Every structure is written in C-alpha cells, then in structure tokens.
Amino acid sequence: MKIGVPKEIKNHEYRVGLTPSSVAELVAAGHEVVVETQAGIGIDFEDADYQAVGATILPDAPAVFGAAEMIVKVKEPQAREIALLESRHVLFTYLHLAADKPQAEGLMKSGATCIAYETVTAPGGGLPLLKPMSEVAGRMSVQVGAHYLEKEQGGRGVLLGGVPGVAPARVAILGGGISGINAAQMAVGMRADVTIYDINMSRLAELDMFFSSQIKTAYASKAAIAAAVERAHLVIGAVLVPGAAAPKLVTREMLKSMKRGSVLVDIAIDQGGCFETSHATTHDDPVFEVDGVIHYCVANMPGAVARTSTFALNNATLPFAVKLANLGAEGAMRTDPHLAAGLNVYRGKIAYQAVADDLGLPFEAWSG
C-alpha cells in the first residue's frame, strides 16, 4: 500500500503522523511511504531522516494525497485537506466529529473511509489511541493551570502548592479517567489540595485506593460540582463520552460563584467542551475571560509538547497502521473489531452512532 504523511497545518501543530522509525517499520513490511517535505521539521525530523529509512519526499500536500491510498495524520483534516480526499482514500487520524458538523459533512462528501483514533477500542476496554494524548493533556492541564493562576497572567496570584503557613490551591478535577488521573498525579506532585469528581463509584473507589490520602473523591452530582466550582482555584474538565459531545458540567451561572482570577482548563474541548462558556482556542491565543474567570481551551493541547506527543502517539497507532496497510481497511476491520470501532465515516455515511446522534445526521452501520 502507498501511505502518505502530510504536514500538519492546524495552528501551532508540530506533531507528525509517522516518525522515521514508524516509516521504517512500514517500509520493512513492503509498503511505500510518501512524506510531505518538512512534515517533521517542527520536532527536528529532517527530510533526510525519512529518506534514510526509505520514504519518498514530495513537495506539497496535493502531491501526497494524489500519490497515497492511506493518509496518516495527527489532527482532524482542515478544509483544504478535506478537498484533497477521494473515495479511494483511507484516512487514519483524530477526527472528533461530534463537535464539528462541517468536517463531518466534508468527509461524507469525499467518500473516503475515515477511521478515528479516538474511537478505536482495546480488548480489555478503553481507548488505546486516545490514551497517550489524554495522558499528555492531563499532565499539561495542571502545568498550564498553575501558570495562568499567576497574577501577571491575569490569575488570582495563587501558588498551586502553597508554602509552609499558607494553604495550597484547591484543584477540582471533573472526570476520573485517563486525563483526570494524570492531572491528579501532577497536581498531587505539586502539593495542591485535589478532589476528583466522577459518576462511576467503582472508579472513585479505585482512585481512592490508588492515591490513598493524597486526594479526595466525590460523586459528581450537580450540587457537588456547583460547590466544587465555588471553592476551587483551578477546575480541570476531563470528562469523556467516547465519540460523543462532552456534557456541559459547569454552567455560566456557576461561574458567578467563582473567585476572580480562578482558572478553568477544558481538556474536553475537542469534543465541544464540558464548560458552558468554553469555545476552542489556539496556542497563539490560548485563553479568554468570562466573569473574571480565565478559560484555557486549546483544542490541540499536546501540540505544545509535540516531540513527546508524537512518539507517544506513534507507539500506540503504529500496530494499527501496519494492519491497515497489510490487509486494507476492510480486511483489517473484519479481522479486528476494535479497529472497526474506529470507523466514523464510510462511503458517504456516518458509521458511528454517537456522532450521528450528536450531529443529527443519518447513521449507517458498516456491515463488514
């Protein structure tokens, strides 16, 4: 199979779909890989690094899309990339369609087979291709939250861990999944006062055992979230409904109870955000203020640590990319139902129920 790796064009997105070592694996398996020139330059992968492992360098995205059968990316395709897709293409990348109807309609119109990293499942449960970026985003959320709590950034002027004689900042983490537990690990390490909220009591019990006395846990009722928001200095939204839009857990009304200079970090922004006042921002302009509360809602948070993120993502995606290349999309999905769970768009139809429901578009299951 011919596999294409275009350069990412989303704002400040320096990650790349395949590292040179991943290309080497695909080439060794008998496949041809074409890479857009400078695709990996943002994380110090030169064209020569790709050529050394057998890739062909092409001058631009149209050349890559024109030559390739499968396109491997990181972020959802932008409008000018969607225009390059054809029915013969397999697109393998993050899509997050539930919050992006124009993208969904563009992919449907292309006729391409579109497999989303974020809905591929694992035999033991979980979302293995979302997990590495959830880990990165969870850890980053505390880092950026601490930064924007600083007074010169417009924050309250609170040190996350406090100092002897001065209480630490209070951190509320909404969601005890992969992002939430990684956020908690960082916040605990910085000696903050941490509470994790979730609706899954089994998960809360696991977290209580894992962290012991280092954190508190609470059931995420509306009343509990309202109280948490009122007292917290930093609120991290880390909820996830696979493939679907995130629930709005924090309302505009709740913001009025928050301390001026408090910070909200919305990890769920790729899926529409879990704060009513959220809207996607970029690394160029990452924050905005509503009612005196700072919102950090960057839709590609892991892009800020692009080198770490690229390696972590490739560790997870490469086995699936090899399977797709070896067997073709339909053959690979027939042999692996967990990969088939990643199918979001197929032959002009939405093939993932939650996406169709959220966007009000017709759903048609892939028959296999």
Give the start-end residues of each E strand in 118-249.
170-174, 193-198, 216-219, 234-237
In whole angstroms, give the CA distance from residue 293 to residue 233: 10
In whole angstroms, give the CA distance from residue 199 to residue 182: 18
Phi then psi for residue 101, to 5 deg, are -65, -40
| Positions marked catalytic | 96, 270
Contact 74, 132 (CB under 8 A): no
Residue entry with tokens 């009612």? 291
In whole angstroms, give the CA distance from residue 231 to residue 143: 20
Angle at the Cα of 82 (from 77 to 85), degrees rounded to 5? 115
In whole angstroms, give the CA distance from residue 16 to residue 21: 12
Sign of CA dihedral 316, 322, 323, 324: positive
Angle at the Cα of 155 (from 13 to 265), degrees rounded to 5? 45
The residue type of 340 is A
Q: Around Cβ 252, how many Cβ atoms within 10 Å?
A: 12
Give the start-end residues of each E strand in 70-181.
70-72, 90-93, 113-116, 170-174
